[in-house]
Amino acid sequence: MVKVQFVFCLLLIPFTVCKPISKRMQYELNTSVMRLQDYIRIDTSNPENYDLVVQFWKQQAAEIGLPISVYRPGRYPVCIITWQGSCPELPSIMLNSHSDVVTAEEVYWSHPPFSGEIDENGDLFGRGTQDTKSLSIQHLEAIRNLINNKVTLERTIHISIIPDEERGGSEGMKPFLKSQYFKRLNVGFALDEGLTSPTNTMFATYQDKRPWQLNMTFYGQGGHGSSIQTSTAVEKLQLLLDQVIHFRREQSQIMSSSKAYDFGSFSTINMNIIQTGIATNVIPNKVNAVIDMRLAVNANISDIQSMVDEWQSLTGPHTELEYLRREDESMATSIDDSNPYWIAMQKAAEEMDIDIQPVVCFATSDMLYLRNLGIPAIGFAPRRNMVSRIHDIDEYISLDGFLNGIEIFEGIIKRIGNVTAV
């Protein structure tokens, strides 16, 4: 009898437990987010980095297969990426944003302001995430998706990246609008930076407030820090402060009695820079103060001028006044049936089941200059259910909102790019 032995072998198959990818990691692998991070990491609070901006946008244009032109009508470069429409003779659409950002004091930030870090909640932090680098990338990614989906538009689309907006545009939008470069673009309508909404309703700005920025310098009696001098520069500053606070309180009352988001009904005023002093025991002979005003839509220029004249008179002799920025006119873009571009935006919003509320911009954008040329322009950024951190510490953007905003721009661009009747 033959004994048959069976040998049972246990095969141990190695396996790993797959952990779910975190929300932050999902975003870090998203190419649109990666492009935004790369753009945020260029510190454009320093104009010396504008050449890096040009390199960045040349690379983006090459990847998307579109031509890019770089102009220098002023000191700094203007980048224009063009997607030609099927009817290039029609007035074009300008998708505008600015490349520069305001400075950031890193010590007050929870994330380095030029790092593009993403937290566990899916928020990306960095200077320019709201104002306005995320907008630039959304324009780019929307066009990229439309091209990949074989969409054609009748009107030519220009993605414009403009420098120097934060300083008033004297080396950016202002000289560009006077150039032959701009005239050749044949712009019929523009979209530019918009506001961050704390609710589910998005804002569309059709008019900007008029900026007045005053540089006032007071000269007075100096001396030893232990003495009591008369007519000092600091006393003159105090007289001005009293007037500024009084006007501010008046406007605050108007704001309190206005409807929600009626930014155009009141003026704002802030003293943003005060410089004085040379030593702890020396009374300064000179005080310099910079005042930033944004005028209500119905503010009368002659009344504002009279108020400023009164300030200068009150502070007495040896007071110098310089206007760092002064815009007396800010035209409005129509938001009714007479504006086919606005109608197209509204139709796109209906199709995507989103609500867009027209408002006056509480600040000032480059669109002021474009509207004053008679070109209709709307400020729009698809940022909703977010805290506005424009020019604030810990500026951020929700990446859910950022990616959804790309889809929203796709819908809007398709509509405005095919507007036929103007």
Residue 219 tokens read as 């000269």
Give the per-residue pLDDT at 1.
44
Give the per-residue pLDDT at 194.
97
Distance (Å, rounded) from C-alpha 419 to C-alpha 422? 8
Residue 259 pairs in a beta bridge with none
Do 82 and 66 contact (CB within 8 A), yes or no? yes
Whether residues 50 and 179 share a domain: the answer is yes
Which residue type sits at 283?
I
Give the per-residue pLDDT at 3.
45
Residue 282 pairs in a beta bridge with 224
Residue reference for tokens 């995430």:
129
In order along its 422 residues, the chain shows pLDDT tens digits of: 444 444 444 444 454 455 667 788 889 899 999 999 999 999 999 999 999 999 999 999 999 999 999 999 999 999 999 999 999 999 999 999 999 999 999 999 999 999 999 999 999 999 999 999 999 999 999 999 999 999 999 999 999 999 999 999 999 999 999 999 999 999 999 999 999 999 999 999 999 999 999 999 999 999 999 999 999 999 999 999 999 999 999 999 999 999 999 999 999 999 999 999 999 999 999 999 999 999 999 999 999 999 999 999 999 999 999 999 999 999 999 999 999 999 999 999 999 999 999 999 999 999 999 999 999 999 999 999 999 999 999 999 999 999 999 999 999 999 999 998 66
Whether residues 350 and 202 share a domain: the answer is yes
Torsional class of 193: left (φ above 0), alpha (ψ -120 to 50), beta (otherwise): beta
Catalytic residue among 100, 131, 192, 395: 100
Q: Within 13 Å, how many C-alpha atoms sit on residue 110's CB side?
A: 9
Do 218 and 318 contact (CB within 8 A), yes or no? yes
Of 239, 241, 248, residue with least CA distance to 266: 248
Of 345, 34, 370, residue with least CA distance to 208: 370
16 in a structural domain: no
CATH number at residue 146: 3.40.630.10
Give the per-residue pLDDT at 359.
98
pLDDT in tens, 288-343: 999 999 999 999 999 999 999 999 999 999 999 999 999 999 999 999 999 999 99
Of 304, 307, 272, 274, residue with least CA distance to 289: 274
7 in a structural domain: no
273 in a structural domain: yes
4 in a structural domain: no
14 in a structural domain: no
The kind and range of the H/E element at 248 are helix 233-257
Cα-only R_g, the chain: 27
344 Cα distance to chain centroid? 23
Residue 401 tokens read as 């909102």
Boundary (domain end) residue, out of 286, 302, 325: 325
Active-site annotation holds for 100: yes
Give the per-residue pLDDT at 20.
67
Distance (Å, rounded) from C-alpha 237 to C-alpha 202? 41
Catalytic residue among 131, 141, 165, 395: 165
Give the per-residue pLDDT at 6.
43
Give the per-residue pLDDT at 336.
96
The kind and range of the H/E element at 399 are helix 399-416
Which residue type sits at 240?
L
Which residue type sits at 304?
I
pTM, 2 dp: 0.92
Boundary (domain end) residue, out of 303, 325, 347: 325
Whether residues 54 and 99 share a domain: the answer is yes
366 in a structural domain: yes
Whether residues 90 and 178 share a domain: the answer is yes
Give the per-residue pLDDT at 8.
42
109 in a structural domain: yes
CATH number at residue 223: 3.30.70.360
Active-site annotation holds for 392: no
Identify the domain containing residue 175 by its residue range. 25-208+330-416
